[in-house]
Every structure is written in structure tokens, then in C-alpha cells.
Structure 1
């Protein structure tokens, strides 16, 4: 087995990449993407538009042997196994989280959901390439026990399965993180795993999660975020219709979108990136007049009763004839609750409407230049197969959170290089791997 120490940017492969939130954050943190795997055509269209286009701000390298198209991890393992095996020793990090719907408390938890089995494919992929670091993100539900009639004790815990499997060759640490502590204007608790090759541990100064926590305030200052948590109003007040007005949608005939004047707060300026007056994904929902009237009353009642960011009471839902269980009104003075793939789960704090894709993206810390592609919404059985824009945003790792992690891990790898003892024979340079990386340059 060879572990390669390379010069220049550290590289990564993103598995289950979705629309690219994790990849974007890592590249903002100094990493270089090699390639990514995502099977949904809508999500991959967004990913490719923003991160593989030659005009992208943060373009992936992308190897010539892999078509720049949607792929499933199992297709990659089957069709490109030889190419993957050739990467052994050449990849600094493999990242990603197996699709979380089967684990999520936001939906019905299904232990037999075939997406849960993709954990095994992910581990097989890691075992084939043997990167220095493995980074995994998932919902809290992955840490819970599922019924499994094939298991000796009748249950399975996927987080334990992942940690036990990686622990053979890696030092594994894990932590539950609330992304609002890192400048994301959303209370979003996610489970992270960081695994580091055992042979490299002597060269790492500290536990990566301790390093991430210690870097937190320096990172926030670096980003111009002077107080946390960032409130939802601080994130999206510049997108209020009352301030900007409306105009015909540029990508959906028969719809209107929010016009745009410019950012107001430091967080808005950070994400606007001097992009210009026309930002994407501000299409408004076409609410019927009775829905607008209902939303107005709900907003008034929730403000009066102090029931912001919390699910409507059963009595209130019944009074409005609502059957949805998760509808909430945003609290302007606090981070939003965890956003979901359902557009009308959150009502704007002052305007009687659902949030736009762009407003959801702001709450996830996506920059304004990052445009989402494909359908806006879907429904019925298609929800299990399609990943429209709202779902792409909801499923993503917040780029700000990913950037924090990327900066810390890059610093630790750089420290590893500086502390590297050339007499350590278990860490060597593989010439074929170097040639592969040079071909990508």
C-alpha cells in the first residue's frame, strides 16, 4: 500500500455529490476537486454548470477516462474499476455522504430503503482508492439503530458500520455539529466523520474536530461575520418583495421573480460576491389568493403568539384546514430551522409566501453566483427519484461549513508535509500516481 505526499493543492473526490455544496466549500478552502459522482440528472446539471464548466470560479480537474455526465457509484465501481484502482495513493481525500432520506427524521425512516445500502458501496470505493482522509456528512438519523432481521441482534447502526469498517486502516473521529455555530443562518445538526490513515496520525497535531472548533472564530472574522448566530433576516432581507419589487421570471414563463437592488448586511455582501444586479433562482410561487390570505393570518398569529420557527399547533392547523405537519413561520431574529425539500414548509417572516430557491440557498450559505438547474419542484412517487432545485438546496452540505473543514484539514495535511520524515518507509511517492495528477494539471 502506498500513501503519496504531493505538492500544491490537496485533491479530493466527491461521492454522492448532489448539487455540489460540499465540493464548493472545500474548493473555497483551497482544495482541488478531481471528479465527482452524482446520478440524478437535475443535481448533476447544477453541479456541472457551477463546478466543471471551463468558466467556473472553482473548476474540477476531471479525468479524461470519466464522462462528465451523471453516474451512480455502483456504475462507476463496475465500469471504471481499473481506473479507480490506479488512483491508489494519489488521492488526498474522499468526501460525501450516502443519500440520507432513509435515515432522516424529516421523512419516514425506512430501514429497507435501498439508498441505505449505498453505505457499503461508499466503503468499497474508499477501500479501492485508499485516500489519506475520508470525510462523511449525514443526518442525525444515521446514528440511530434500524431494524435488521439479518443481524444477530436484530438491528443495524449505519454510523457504527461505517466507523468499524474504516477503523481497520484509519483513525476515526466523529462529531455532531450545528452549522449555525459556523455562520450558517440555519439550525442544522449534522453528523460528521473524519477518518485519517493510521500511518499518518503521528504527524497530525490534534483531533480534527478540536482543530475545527478552535478555528471557528478566526474563520468567522475572516468572512466578515462579526456576530453569531446569523439570523434569517440578516441572510435574506435584501430579497424582500417590498424592497425590490417583482419582474417576469427569466426561466419560467408565466411566473414572476424578485427583482434585485443589492445586499444590505455583511452576510449578504459575503454571499453576493459583487455578482451584479441580476441573481438567479428568485422565482416566486404562484399562490392562489386564498393561500396568500391564509399565510397573512398565520404570520400575524405566529408573531403575536411568539410561535416563530416552530411547527404550527394542531389547533391552528385545524382552524386553517391544514394537513401538513411541518409548516412554520420564519423567525427574523434567529437562524432558520433546518430547511427541507418541501417549498412550503417555511413561510417568510413578513411576506405571505413560501421562500424562493435563492432564499433557501442563502440560508444554506450558497453564494449568489451559484445557479441551480433542472426542475423547481416535483411530487408524488417522483420525489423518490428526482432531485429538483428545492431538494438540491435542502440536501446540500452548507458551503461555509465545508470551507471551515477544508481549511483545517488542508492546514493539517500541510503540517504533515512539513513534519514528514523521509525515513518513514511506509509513506512513499508512487510515480504512476504523480503522473496521473500531472495529467490533470
Structure 2
């Protein structure tokens, strides 16, 4: 078999291992992300023709393969120093025209959440996390009557911001039918159930194992649907769930639709990007919207409100940018502090600062022309700067790691602060975050952006 005929993931892995080439190093020389190569080799996804072509070209280049496969890992002693505050960089990070309006919008969002609820609209939150989905629905006038969240630190954050809801339980799989019935009697009728089961079992950044028990959590979501019989239900997850397959080889998305149908609901799924709804972040997600069979109307999503500002949809507002979200915050370099306890920068080793100091926006330290100024491992989405005047890259739970995926500030040479990540996710500054910094990062990175949630909630409200 020649390499020209090698089109399956198993064949690629066999050839790569024969050459002594790690997945990370193949990603480095091909430019195809490691998580995509991993998913292809495991047979989880098909590799697009252009990506397969560049991967095959890279693996054919024997000189390049030899150079990276025999390269020894460079050890660098960790030492820290305070980077200079360059006047030109501080000036570049000044507030944009769109920043005051965005900050005011987040204040209005929180004020609407805190306002008394006059409309007779109620919601139940499952897999609540730190409350992003709930915040959007609350700001749209829904009373959040109860919630379920497994992790105690996240429950604590949720309780700080939603003190009136009933805490139904922690582990949704451990809530018995009897306990659920008792809670339903206590809470009363519910109009909408919302929730996003943990995405690790579905996401390309995880193992995507078909037998991962988390992949069945939507069945417990449906137990609540059966008990409360809400008029509507909204289930959120990562976009790649639409291509995830079950143990029998079928699509998980079809399982979800079939189950909702068996439980008496019309359902459809919609792939959305949060930036199209005013969130200053490129964040692709899938939403399953279900409507009870005895009610009129069909599942739908609100029309996008934001776009590129021209082209086929000139009537839309321009996408919000990283700068629109964060440019009023104090300028910080590595290790810097401010009066806001959540706007503090992680200290990074001096050699990492050196790799990244002159890297332009949208580029990675792996792109440096001098091999000695490139990180010894990783791939070209790591050690990468964001872009100041574009929507931010997806906020993940690892946003505090400068070595993570697109976690470097566009202008300063450091990872994102918690306040910046919260702003990019559209959490108001007045939203209360407590607990360890790691817990807060996890909650923010996994949250449904409240502005996206509010757009969905307003649409659901009109339907109801």
C-alpha cells in the first residue's frame, strides 16, 4: 500500500507511528490541528479533503519529518521578570467606540435579572453550571423556579445569583422518580426546561467515546420533561454533537430527536454562533428546541442580529469584538494586578514571554521564523494571540493558560484574565463569582453566554 492510497485514520496512524512521528508533531508540520487528527485517527470524523491533502504532503516530506521526529525537547529553567509596559501597546488598548455601549448592555442585563418578575413565565434549569443560561432567561422575564448542578463549587456560585430557586439535587442521575415527583409538586407548573449536559463526551477536544456515560445524560433531562410537561424545552451542546455517533453507528442528534418525539414533543436542532447574537466571541453551538405536541407552532430560533456589517445582510449590526468587550479594563502585562480582584494576570516564565513578545495578532509563537523562538511542543493554535478588532476566539475553561488554544491577549503578552473571559462570555461585572480561581474559570468557560441565552429566551417568550 502506498501513501497516496492512505485515506483512513487507521492507515494514517500506522504510517505516522512507523516514522516515529507524534500526533503533535504531525499537527505542527501539517498545520492541521491535533484534536482533528486525533478524531480522524479514531474514526470519529472524516478529514476534509484539503486537510487530508496537506497532511499527506507533510508526511511525505522526509527531511521535515526527520527534523521534527528527532528534535530533542528543550529544557528551560523557569524564571520570571516583569515585562515592560510599552506606551504604544497601552495606547493601542484604549477603549473602542463600541465598548461603553457593550458595558452598559451588560449592566442592563443584570438589572433585568434582578427586577421583579411580573409575567407568568417560569423555567427550570438543568446542568446549571454557574448560571449563564439561567441569567439570560431571567433577564427575559422568566422566573427560575429550580435548578440541578452536580459540582458543589458551581452550585455555590449559582446560589449566590439565584437565591429564590429550589435546589432540586446535585447528581441528576441520583434523583429518584419519587424525589422528582415531590419536587414537582413543590415547584408547580413550569413553562420551559433549559439545560446543557456536560460536553466532554461530545467535544472534539475530549475523547468523544461512544460509551461515555455522559452521552446519556439527555435521557435524564427527559425524565424532568416527563415529570413537569413544560410547554417547551431547550437543550444546548457543542456544535460537533451533530456529527457524534452512538455505539450502533447512528447519529446522537437523531437519538435526541427521536426521544423527544416519543415523549410527546416536536423538536428540531439549530446550529448557531454566539457572535451572531451580540456576544463578542466566536462560539459555535447546537440547540435542540422542543414544543409540546398539543401546542401550536414549531421549533425555531430567533433571527441573527449581528453580522459582518455588509454583504448580503447589511441591515445587521456589526459583530462585537474583543476590544468592544474589554478595552476599558486596566492594561496588564504578565503578573499585573488591578483594583478588580478578577482582573489579575497570571505570571508567565520569561522565556515564554520572549517567544510571544513580537508575535502579531492572530499568529502563534509556533510561526516564529527562528526555531529557537518556537515552543518545543504543541501546534499552531497554541501560544496564539487573539485579534483586538475581531470577535474573540471561543472561551474555554483553560483560558488562563498561555499555552492553551488562542488564549493570548491581542496586545499584552499574557493569558486572559477572569474578568476578560467573563466579559467575552457576556457576564456582567456585577455577577457574583466565588470559590477558587480554577472553579470560576471552569464555570465561565462552560457557560452558555447570557446574551445568547436572552435572545433565545425572548424568542421562546414570544412563542409562548
TM-score, with length taken from structure 2: 0.66
2:351 is the alignment partner of 1:290: yes
Q: 2:355 touches 2:375 (CA, 8 Å); kept in 1?
A: no
Alignment: residue pair count: 332
Higher relative contact order (CA 8 A, sep 6+): 1
Following superposition, the deviation at residue 290 of structure 1 comes to 2.6
Within a 5 Å distance, the mapping from 1:314-325 to structure 2 comes to 319-325=373-379
* RMSD between aligned residues: 2.9
Following superposition, the deviation at residue 147 of structure 1 comes to 5.1
Q: Distance in 1 between matches of 2:367 and 2:245?
A: 30
2:282 is the alignment partner of 1:187: yes
Within a 5 Å distance, the mapping from 1:226-241 to structure 2 comes to 227-241=317-331
Q: 1:62 aligns with which of 152, 161, 165?
A: 165
Map of 2:408 onto structure 1: 347
2:153 is the alignment partner of 1:42: yes
Find the structure with the greater CA-based Rg. 2
Following superposition, the deviation at residue 102 of structure 1 comes to 0.9
Within a 5 Å distance, the mapping from 1:113-128 to structure 2 comes to 113-128=212-227
Long gaps (5+) in structure 1: 1-6, 53-60, 149-153, 221-225, 247-254, 260-278, 378-387, 414-441
Q: Structure 1 residues 155 and 316, CA, compared in 2 at 3 Å: closer, same or farther?
A: farther
Q: Structure 1 residues 340 and 62, CA, compared in 2 at 3 Å: closer, same or farther?
A: closer
2:131 is the alignment partner of 1:20: yes
2:307 is the alignment partner of 1:208: no
Long gaps (5+) in structure 2: 1-117, 310-315
Q: State the SS of the aligned residue for 1:123.
A: helix
1:16-72 deviation digits (Å, cap 9, x = unpaired): 0000000001101111100110011121121111222xxxxxxxx334xx57xx611
Following superposition, the deviation at residue 84 of structure 1 comes to 4.1
Map of 1:172 onto structure 2: 267
Q: 2:230 aligns with which of 124, 128, 131?
A: 131
Q: 2:181 touches 2:227 (CA, 8 Å); kept in 1?
A: no
Q: 1:281 touches 1:371 (CA, 8 Å); kept in 2?
A: no
Pick which of 335-344 and 286-295 moved more.
Answer: 286-295
2:251 is the alignment partner of 1:157: yes
Q: 1:22 touches 1:399 (CA, 8 Å); kept in 2?
A: yes
1:293-312 deviation digits (Å, cap 9, x = unpaired): 2331xxx2334xxx44x795
Q: Structure 1 residues 318 and 172, CA, compared in 2 at 3 Å: closer, same or farther?
A: farther
Q: Structure 1 residues 370 and 312, CA, compared in 2 at 3 Å: closer, same or farther?
A: farther
1:165-196 deviation digits (Å, cap 9, x = unpaired): 11231111221001101110111110011101
1:243-284 deviation digits (Å, cap 9, x = unpaired): xx99xxxxxxxx75323xxxxxxxxxxxxxxxxxxx452132
Map of 1:199 onto structure 2: 294
Q: Structure 1 residues 110 and 257, CA, compared in 2 at 3 Å: closer, same or farther?
A: farther
Q: Structure 1 residues 411 and 19, CA, compared in 2 at 3 Å: closer, same or farther?
A: same
Q: Distance in 1 between matches of 2:365 and 2:162?
A: 36
